[in-house]
Amino acid sequence: MTTRHTIIDGTQLEHTILDDYLCGICCALFAHVQCELCDNTPGVLYRQVCPLHKQAGSSRGQSD
């Protein structure tokens, strides 16, 4: 799975999403290679909305 960013000058930066970062919504682990736009370094855990939830929209409730 890859995510793609478009930089201001139109250049597209593509990087792979792995399972190492913590999603703040689904609590799944996601990661990606170091991206100058994301300014994240692989191997560091932090809470964020994973790309899947970003695509689906950030407002999603789960009943448990």
Domain, as residue range, for 44: 2-52
pLDDT at 11 > cutoff 50 = yes
Q: Note whether residue 32 is domain-resident.
A: yes
The b/e string for 31-56 (b: 16+ C-beta within 10 A; e otherwise) is bbeeeeeeebeeeeeeebbbbebeee
pLDDT at 54 > cutoff 60 = yes
Q: Note whether residue 64 is domain-resident.
A: no
Q: Give the number of residues written for the chain.
A: 64
Q: Note whether residue 19 is domain-resident.
A: yes
pLDDT at 53 > cutoff 60 = yes
Give the pLDDT score at 20: 44
Query: How far does Cα 14 stand from its chain's mean position?
Result: 12
Domain count for the chain, please give it: 1
CB atoms under 10 Å from CB of 17, counted, come to 16
pLDDT digits (tens, 9 = 90+) for 14-31: 544 444 444 545 544 444
Q: Note whether residue 59 is domain-resident.
A: no
Confidence at 44, pLDDT banded by 50, 70, 90: very low
Q: Note whether residue 60 is domain-resident.
A: no
Q: Note whether residue 28 is domain-resident.
A: yes
